[in-house]
A and B are shown apart, each in its own frame.
Chain A
Amino acid sequence: MLESIDWSQVNWSRGQFALTAMYHWIFVPLTLGLSFLLAFFESIYVKTGDERWKALTKFWMKLFAINFAIGVATGLILEFQFGTNWSNYSWMVGDIFGAPLAIEGIFAFFLEATFFAVMFFGWDRVSKKFHLFSTWMVAIGANLSALWILVANGWMQNPVGMVFNPDTARFEMENFWAVLGSPSALSRFTHATSSGFVLAALFVVAVSCWFLLRDRHKLLAKRSIVVACVFGFISSVYLAGSGDESGHIVAQAQPMKLAAIEGLYDGEVGSGLNVFGILRGDKQLDDDQSPHYFALEIPYALSFLANRDINSFVPGLRDLVRGNEEHGIISVEQKMQNGRQAVSALAAYKAARKNGDEGAAQTALRDFRAHEQHLGYGYLTHPEQAVPPVALNFYSFRIMVALGFFFPLLFAVLFYYTLKSRLAHTPWLLWLGVFSLFLGYLASQTGWIVAEVGRQPWAIQGMLPVGVATSNLTTGAVQTTFWMFAVLFTILLIAEIRIMTRQISLGPEEE
């Protein structure tokens, strides 16, 4: 089916996807979380009738709108990129993957777009209550759109509910609810949205701390911090919980990803969780040297995370690539053989159908069905290809988790200091509040690196490698669009940051 893969084109397409996804994810988390914070702020205004809460709501709403516009702009490219740069993917899994995208459009985007106009321009055109309703609808719409795209992403991590149709040479949906309700989909949704809530809370905290440092808009800042800290604390505790659940699901559906994240080469019973370590740069899959220069471990924790059993076996990269009979793990080499068998059986099936030889077609189909489980491996050229980049996953994961523990602590301390009326007089904490916004972005981006780079070399886990998923394009064409979007998004990001900082320094309209 696939004679030659132009890896340079594939990698530029991956680069373009990473570029647009990472830019998009600068703006989206803020939209997800800030929309709820706006709804909280405005609810307090409607409940209390205090005009200062209205001014506060309108201030954050203005920042929300600036961020929202550029989020929409970057999202457009992401959606259509599945077609433009990953057209074979679009055909092979469009039957399943297209549905959540369309549902996202119908249910979520219109909700967001319609009520955004009311929220932003409707202050003097609709009733107070309807305005509040609209603000809530924007928040719900924004988070619903996250649900559907993350269902789609979860399915890519753990493809369920489908069957391969040899006549059309694509995967077709068999069970809609399995796709929607897959644990991978739900854990992606809860983890990603709650990370958005945390980032938005950090944003509100950072801007408010800045105001306090400058001795301006103190009431607005304190009120904002209180609401943001409560929201941020609850969300970050939930985030940690959903992260743990994500880890468990990854262990079940993507053991190779977990092994890469841990830098675990040789599996163990009662495996410890690496808290921090430095990876050896020259470690090879089959050598016997330790993968780390040093490592700090929590005994048994990895086994518990992976299998909810401290004495369970967690396979390492070597087990997964070379196979481990004792634990019933098939080698990648064997899977590649099965996959190649499936690929050639599929070709034989199609040829037989073309020639009208039903008998031969049925024989080929049986052969295909017997090996289709490893279809995707048939396109790999050597077993080591099945291993995702270890160092990038290992360090990204540790940064994300460490920050994940830091954030709830930060929210708790800020909340305490605000209640005790000591926050305004504690500059180091205010500076920490400002600086933590960047840590929020760092955690958010590294989280997606783990999710996506950890899935390599697969576009669809175990089924479709990125090399097969791509469009038939020249490297030059993709390079051109890569740089076009890199320049365009960077200019727009600079403009956005400048506008944002100017609006922040202008402050709220009235106090």
Chain B
Amino acid sequence: MIGNLDHATLQHLWWLIVSVVGALFVFLTFVQGGQTLLLTTAHDDVEKKLIVNSLGRKWELTFTTLVLFGGALFAAFPLFYATSFGGAYWVWMLILATFVLQAVSYEFRTKPGNLLGARTYEAFMFINGSVGLLLVGAALGTFFTGASFTLDDYNRVTWLHSLRGLEAAFSLFNLSMGLFLVFLARVLGALYLCNHIRHEDLHERLRRAVVINMVIALPFLLYVLVRLVTMDGFAVDPASGQVTVESFKYLKNLLGMPVVLIMLVAGLLLVIAGVVMTGKGRSTRGIWPAGVGTVLTALSLLLTAGFHGSAFYPSAVDPASSLTIFNASSSHFTLTAMSYVALAVPFVLAYIACVWRMMDRRKFTTDDLESENAKNLY
């Protein structure tokens, strides 16, 4: 069946798959958000230990999803991988550096002999959850605002801004996207911790954090949405491959793809529902609607960037150099082979969900900090 799909269908399928992985990553940034709550919401070492260990059971999923996002882009849209990573050098290097810091922090934080002290590793986690996510958001923003690169006849990239990608953070749209991501992650982090940990005092503060961070995130979200539907976009003619600037392009995309528009609206409503359930109500299950909502919202944004005849990585200086799902993709053969591989994804998701349920059947409490297994804790 897969073998009979034409190239354009496969290119759409792979943009969808990459977008789903990206959207799952955005949901899983509750780990990063939770890391920043360590500094603002935990009052003592016991609470810190609860939060770190609760997140510590999930951080690798987020990390792995980021790696898969990179790997899937490499396999399916290698020209994006080459152009963005090789071009926007500094933004990616800094993002990666914050994830390197994160990767050791859980394991090293409280171990004797850790050289830098617990506070430093907590600072690493904070940097990852703040600076790291801000830059990820800014980089995602360039899917709409474009970046300053050109490609030559052999598709080699030249970056025209000396900040090599960091300039993205100085656009109000990209910056808003980044800040929205940072505060959304904090909302999700607080929702996840409310669901995963049983601890009265901490719960009260986490509920407050859910509401406060959502309130802070809203203006950035509104700005992003208003700009998105009013801004010029980069349209591609699939037949000729020509890229042109078109006014209200992304509004047209949303109206032209009602399913995506419904996903966006439903996604945002679900996030708000999750916030209200846990932030205002007494439920601890707000993470689920908010999580599903986050995935739908992020997915709809990524699909708006790449589908409906749009250039998903536009060049703001030379529209002809812009990347589309057509000119940036792998060959028909590779996309077909990779589609067979992708059949394993539901299976992978299933065992992750199964293990997640099994491990979280019992809530995480201060008893766990004293259990037989306590010496294994972070």
Contact = CB atoms under 8 A, between A and B. Distances in A.
A117 B56 CA distance: 8
A261 interface: no
Contact of A76 (B85, B90, B103): B103
A84 B92 CA distance: 8
B75 A107 contact: no
B344 A498 contact: no
B366 to A, nearest CB: 15
B64 A120 contact: no
Given A91-B155, A99-B334, A104 B63 contact: no
Contact of A80 (B92, B112, B372): B92
Given A72-B60, A118-B359, A124 B76 contact: no
A325 B163 CA distance: 53
Contacts of B344: 106-107
Which of B79, B84, B361 has the largest number of chain A CB atoms within 10 A? B79
A176 B340 CA distance: 11
Contacts of A94: 74-75, 78-79, 81-82, 330
B58 A117 contact: yes
A83 B74 contact: yes
Interface in A148-193: 165, 168-170, 172-174, 176
A83 to B, nearest CB: 3
A275 interface: no
Contacts of B373: 121, 123-124
Interface string A481-504: 100100010011011101101110
Interface residues of B, number: 77
A419 interface: no
Dominant secondary structure of chain B at its interface with chain A: helix
A90 B78 contact: yes
A113 B64 contact: yes
Given A73-B103, A77-B100, A123-B373, A495 B116 contact: yes
B67 A109 contact: yes
Interface in B154-190: 154-159, 164
A126 B354 CA distance: 12
Interface string A51-82: 00000001001100110111011101101101
A90 B100 contact: no
Given A88-B82, A91-B155, A502 B111 contact: yes
Nearest to A130: B358
B57 A82 contact: no
B105 to A, nearest CB: 8
Contact of B338 (A70, A99, A494, A506): A99
Contact of B337 (A126, A169, A173, A495): A173
A288 B114 CA distance: 57
B79 A117 contact: no
B362 A105 contact: no
A125 interface: yes
Nearest to B349: A110
A290 B44 CA distance: 72
B34 to A, nearest CB: 15
Given A101-B74, A121-B373, A87 B67 contact: no
Given A70-B103, A494-B115, A125 B361 contact: yes
B115 to A, nearest CB: 4
Interface string B63-103: 11001101110111011011111110110110011011101
Contacts of A173: 330-331, 333-334, 337
B193 to A, nearest CB: 16
A98 B331 contact: no
A87 to B, nearest CB: 2
B68 A90 contact: no
B345 A77 contact: no
B246 interface: no
A486 B190 CA distance: 35
Given A76-B99, A84-B93, A165-B331, A102 B74 contact: yes
Nearest to A107: B344
Given A105-B67, A498-B113, A87 B355 contact: no
Contacts of B67: 76, 79, 105, 109
A213 interface: no
A25 interface: no
Interface string B324-349: 00000011011001100110110010
Nearest to B353: A114
A80 B85 contact: yes
B64 A98 contact: no
B78 A488 contact: no
A40 B111 CA distance: 26
Contacts of A506: 112
Given A94-B79, A117-B57, A125-B361, A105 B64 contact: yes
30 contacts: A62-B375, A73-B104, A77-B100, A79-B71, A80-B85, A82-B81, A83-B86, A84-B85, A84-B92, A87-B157, A90-B78, A90-B85, A91-B78, A95-B334, A99-B341, A103-B338, A105-B67, A106-B68, A106-B341, A107-B344, A107-B348, A113-B61, A117-B355, A117-B359, A121-B373, A123-B376, A165-B331, A170-B78, A495-B108, A498-B114
Given A87-B157, A102-B71, 12 more contacts: A70-B107, A72-B63, A84-B85, A84-B89, A87-B82, A102-B72, A110-B61, A117-B355, A477-B164, A492-B100, A499-B114, A509-B375
Shortest 8 CB-CB contacts between residues of A and residues of B: A87-B86, A94-B78, A83-B85, A98-B75, A105-B68, A73-B103, A98-B74, A69-B107
